[in-house]
Amino acid sequence: DTDFQKKIDHEVRMREGACKLLAACTQRQQALEAAKSLLTCNNRIMAYMSTVQRMKEAQLMQRKVRR
């Protein structure tokens, strides 16, 4: 759980940087690369969050089975 939280935190910081870069871009190619980075960060965050959710659901199911 903490490993995934660290990964999520890292991607959030990367996303914030990509947002700032996107706002500061003056050239089209720079903007495209910043937008690509932003989308990639968002996708990674969603993937990590989905994994954490599945892990929590599996833990709940194990607890229910034990009862």
The reported pLDDT for the residue numbered 1 is: 76
The reported pLDDT for the residue numbered 64 is: 86
Domain count within the chain: 1
Residues in the chain where the model's pLDDT stays below 70: none
The reported pLDDT for the residue numbered 27 is: 97
Burial class (CB in 10 A: 0-12, 13-18, 19+), 56: exposed
CA quadruple 12, 17, 22, 27: dihedral positive or negative?
negative
**What pTM, to 2 d.p., does this model score?**
0.85
The reported pLDDT for the residue numbered 66 is: 81
Residue 36 belongs to domain spanning = 1-66
DSSP conformation class of 27: S
